[in-house]
Amino acid sequence: MKKVCQSCGNPIFHGGADFRGTEKDYSKTEKYCNRCYLNGKFQEENLTLEMLIQRGLNEIDRSNMNKFKKWIMKKSYPHYVSKLERWKKWQKKNYSL
């Protein structure tokens, strides 16, 4: 199974490239990509799940996938990212009763 960023869902390794983010000590993390996480912190600390979902849906719209694949991706993307580690914690913190 491919390792994916636990924030955005993108592959951490792709085409032989390593996109892992870094911890405070500059060691590579196994959880997050370098677009989301550097030097031990999220690049967009105020990013919400809703903002990430909208960004992802916009990227799907701009992609060159056929209409059917776009439809499938847009239907499944919100559920997919809401299950990633960062957002499970965020939901618990922001939606707890």
Tens digit of each residue's pLDDT (9 = 90 or more) over 68-85: 999 999 999 999 999 999
What is the rounded CA–CA span in Å between residue 10 and residue 95?
Answer: 25
Residue type present at position 32? Y
- Per the structure block, which two tokens stand in for 5? 């960023």
Name the pTM for this structure: 0.83
Tens digit of each residue's pLDDT (9 = 90 or more) over 60-69: 999 999 999 9
Domain ranges across the chain? 1-44, 46-97
